[in-house]
Structure 1
Amino acid sequence: MSEAGRPRLSAVPGPADRDRFWAAIEDGLDELARGLVARIRAELPSYALLPESEHFRNVRSLYETMTRSLAEGAPPNPEVLQSIRASARRRAYYDMPVYDVLAAFHHAHQELWEALRRSDLATESLLVELVGPMAHWSQAMSQAVVDAYVAQQGGREQHERETRARFFDVLHADGPGQDATDLMRELALDPDGEFTVLVARNRWWPRESVDALQRAGRRITGVVHADARAGLLTIVSQGAVLDDVVALAAEVGGESRPLGIGLTRPGLAGIRLGLGDATRALRLAEADGRAAVRFETDWFAAVIPDLAPLLGPLLEPIRRVAGEQPDLADAVVAYAESGFTLRGTGAALALHPNSVSYRLTRWHQLTGLDVRSFAELALSLVAITEARRNT
């Protein structure tokens, strides 16, 4: 350290010495504040979001408050800490990282200490006296910043939670949803974009699990919003890889919990249709004991329970045959799933093609349905599915 930079050795300074010291420090606060603002904005790019004039006023006021408090030997009072918290909340409003704000307050502490140490009126005994109070100020400022960010984040989460609830109110309502566009934008969703809906049974998803899933959704690319009501957990995702969303649901709710996945569709109307898709897929997942069913690949089986009431008179005699002759029903299903060939069906059932032909002919004789006709094969499959579902 140079002689000019080394504080003078002296006895404990008297009142007059202290007054001169603090007066000199106060005279240099404008320059000190300008230098700190320049340093912070050069080293922390996020501070470009904060208007420079506001930034300077904040720093100048903080330095004035700190120096007067240190001169009086007083700790940071509640009003001062409230002012620091208010400044921190303002930075949170600008989405400035808390780490940058803490770094800026650290720079403020560091620069003021250097100004105290470099003063021509500084003495070693005076600086030693200031070590404790300066450390107290640093700790108090850091805690005030953290408290402000925690409170601000809590407020944001509460606002987002309320907005999400209103959005799902609109989603589940029958009306056109005039407020949906604004709500979707507040939730970082593109109202004109495409959405995928996933559903699970509400009984497997207590509120804490839904909240955990919502938090976990921030770890993946895209936007995910979850809500539990009307017996269902509903997940609306946009821009997310579907496998990532399914993996998160399994991670939070358990891999064995059935999940239905709807078609990807555009807009609010698409979300509502996707909710229906996903609910049908969930019903199939539960019936088959599967962890996840995608409507895209299993749409036919997923809609059969909706078709059955419409086709009741047609289905009843066929369903009875399917229940009484399960080997014939197995042959029909295998035929549909094996490329509509006797050889492929025989391989699937470990039967000779002639045996397959016999079973399909017998099905025709008992039901009047020829599986070589698309419509009659489809009706056969609906009846067989319903028969199996009710056994």
Structure 2
Amino acid sequence: MGERRPSDDSSALDDADWRQLHEICLAVVEDLPGLAAIITDRIRAENPVYATLPWEEHVRFIYEQAEELLAGLAEHRLPTREQAAARELGSRRARQGLPVEVLLSSYHIGYQEVWNALLVKAGADEEELPPGLVRLVTLMWSWLRLSSGAAADAHQETLSSQQAMQINLTHRFLRILRGGDTHSEEATHLARILSFDPDGTFQAFCVPSASLPEQDLVHLQQRLARHRGTVQSANQGTATIIVCQNVASDAITDTIHESHPDLPVGVGLRRLSLTGAAASIVDAERTSALAAQTGGVVDFQNEWLFATLLTHRRELAPLFQTDQSVTGLPEHLGAAVRAYADHGFSVTAAARALHIHPNTVTYRLDRWHQLTGWTPRTLDGLMKSLLSLSLFPTPEDPSATHVPE
């Protein structure tokens, strides 16, 4: 039956008072089919995520919870036996993907509506309660605290278990993709378990794992999961890899920067199938090296040339060796080359951007040619000049991206 008389207030009631409260509770139970529907509709109106649950199932759960509450109030006992049902509900809502705050909101709405029904049956209002109902407030609050607490605890336990399993599965999935075994049955199986369409379009993102320890990654995954589509993430060595399907790039990067505003993000191309997913991961890893010094977002679609050549920096070094090494050239010569390229190959526009005379820009371009052998006024010479400045920047050049060896 459970504990009776849970507080001094309730023990102060005489048998007549409890008989009256018992009758009021039973009267609300008689109206419970309609009341459960009203509570359900209000919960769903205030928490639209419940729309994913069948209405009939939702009403049934509300009815059962309200019935247990009213029985406990009528018997003036605490919810000792009902806490198991509350835990099961909390675990169920976690498996259904409902946030814990939504679960707790539904408890408060349900209890509020039941209390209002009790007031109506007692012919009372909030400003002047009969002694019995005043003392019933304490008991009802205990029910709300214990039942919602049990549901919330179970929700968190289930969610933590699900997250740990999902992270492990994502680790395995990413290892397979990065290992190139994209046509294996395991790769296809894991993709489907993680809610990906193996034949669909994938896009990968890469950020430094040092900036996203495991607990931060769990919180980020929770926020990313709110987007429509599929998003999975896991730490892989020094990088955190995020793979998504049917989610806009901006939605991913904006979500990352909500909690980590300066985090550098490398963005891969959208590519088809699991083979494309593996290639997009490579894209993202390459562009993340460029983003590492800026704290911004670097998209492979825009920076594919530099991102690709960057991975071959050591092999390319002999192509950019000159009689006087580029890394030993004055920084202002490189700045003139960049300005010339960035402003429509116009000496005048470059001079305006650098706040110098056009003749000075012309002199610096010529001097660059003399020292490197590359003339910025030809396509080949300009390309080699810009690549040398990007791949082998001078230490003092603030506009260049530093690339570690």
1:59–1:358: structure 2 CA closer, same or farther, 3 Å change rule? closer
- Does the 8 A contact of 1:205 with 1:233 survive in 2? yes
Q: CA deviation at 1:230?
A: 0.7
Is 1:296 the counterpart of 2:301? The answer is yes
| 1:83 pairs with 2:89 | no
Residues 342 and 357, structure 1, Cα contact 8 Å, conserved in 2: no
| Structure 2 gaps, min length 5 | 1-12, 45-49, 124-129, 397-405
Aligned to 1:231: 238
CA deviation map 1:226-250 (0-9, x unaligned): 4333112334456666556545544
**Stretch deviating more after TM superposition (269-278 or 244-253):** 244-253
Matched, 1:278 2:245: no
Amino acid in the other structure paired with 2:279:
L
Q: Counterpart of 2:194? A: 184
Of 336, 341, 361, which aligns to 1:336? Answer: 341
Instruction: Mark the structure with the bigger radius of gyration.
Output: 1
Match in the other structure for 2:4: none
**Number of equivalences:** 354
Q: Distance in 2 between matches of 1:248 and 1:21?
A: 51
From 368, 379, 382, give the equivalent of 1:374: 379
- Structure 1 window deviating more from structure 2 (297-306 vs 231-240): it is 231-240
Cα distance per residue 1:322-355 (max 9 Å; x no partner): 2454466555544433433454455556341653
Larger displacement relative to structure 2 (165-174 or 37-46):
37-46
CA distance in 2: counterparts of 1:27 and 1:283, whole angstroms: 68
SS at structure 1 position matched to 2:188: coil
Matched residue type, 2:241 = T
- CA contact under 8 A between 2:79 and 2:147: conserved in structure 1? no
Tell me: CA distance 1:267–1:138, structure 2 relative to 1, closer, same or farther (3 Å). Answer: farther
Whether the aligned pair in 1 keeps the contact of 2:66 and 2:110 (CA below 8 Å) is: no
- Residue type matched to 1:281 in 2? T
Aligned to 1:322, which of 320, 326, 330?
A: 326
TM-score (norm 2): 0.66
C-alpha distance in 2, partners of 1:272/1:211? 23
Which whole-Å CA distance do the structure 2 matches of 1:340 and 1:279 have between them? 32
CA distance in 2, matches of 1:251, 1:54: 36
1:359 aligns with 2:367: yes
Cα 1:148–1:317 shift into 2, 3 Å: same
**1:235-314 mapped onto 2 (5 Å cutoff):** 235-236=242-243, 242=249, 245-253=252-260, 255=262, 257-286=263-292, 289-294=293-298, 295-314=300-319
Tell me the residue number matched to 1:158: 161
CA distance in 2 between counterparts of 1:354 and 1:65 reads: 90
Residues 20-62 of structure 1: CA deviation (Å, up to 9, x unaligned): 996x789868734334334434544458252656665555555
Offset at 1:171? 1.9
CA 1:27/1:329 → structure 2, altered by over 3 Å: closer, same or farther?
A: closer
User: For the structure 1 residues 137 and 234, does the alpha-carbon distance in structure 2 shift closer, same or farther, using more than 3 Å as the test?
Assistant: same
Alignment map for 1:21-60 (pairs within 5 Å): 31-41=30-40, 43-45=42-44, 48-50=55-57, 56=63, 59-60=66-67
CA–CA distance in structure 1, aligned partners of residues 329 and 133 of structure 2? 94
Q: How much does 1:356 deviate?
A: 5.3
* CA–CA separation in structure 1 for the residues paired with 2:21 and 2:256: 63
1:124 counterpart residue number: none
The 3-state SS of whatever aligns with 1:340 is coil
The residue aligned with 1:121 is none
> How far 1:144 sits from its partner (Å)?
0.7
Displacement after TM superposition at 1:208 (Å):
4.0
Query: 1:184 & 1:314 partners in 2: Cα distance?
Result: 45
Mapped partners of 1:345, 1:360: distance in 2: 15
| 2:369 and 2:376 in contact (8 A); partners too | no
Quote the offset at 1:140 in angstroms. Answer: 1.5
Q: Is the 8 A contact 1:85 1:148 kept in 2?
A: yes
Q: Is it true that 1:102 corresponds to 2:108 in the alignment?
A: yes
Alignment of 1:188-203 (within 5 A): 196-203=203-210
CA spacing shift, 1:312–1:325, aligned 2, 3 Å? closer
- Give the whole-Å Cα distance in 2 for the aligned partners of 1:389 and 1:305: 16
What displacement does 1:152 show? 1.3
Structure 1 segments unaligned to the other structure (5+ residues): 1-10, 119-126
Which whole-Å CA distance do the structure 2 matches of 1:379 and 1:194 have between them? 35
CA distance in 2, matches of 1:348, 1:25: 82
What SS does structure 1 have at the residue aligned with 2:269?
coil
Q: Secondary structure at the match of 1:107?
A: helix
Residue 234 of structure 1 aligns to a residue whose secondary structure is strand
Look up the match of 1:5.
none
Q: Structure 1's 374 and 154: CA in aligned 2 closer, same or farther, altered over 3 A?
A: farther
- What SS class does the counterpart of residue 206 from structure 2 fall into? strand
| CA 91–128 in structure 1, closer or farther in 2 if over 3 Å, else same | farther
Match of 2:217 among 169, 187, 210: 210
Question: What is the distance in 2 between the residues matched to 1:214 and 1:153?
Answer: 15
Indicate conservation of the 8 Å contact 1:209/1:252, yes or no.
Answer: no
| Contact 1:88 1:101 (C-alpha < 8 Å) held by counterparts | no
Higher mean Cα deviation, 164-173 or 210-219? 210-219
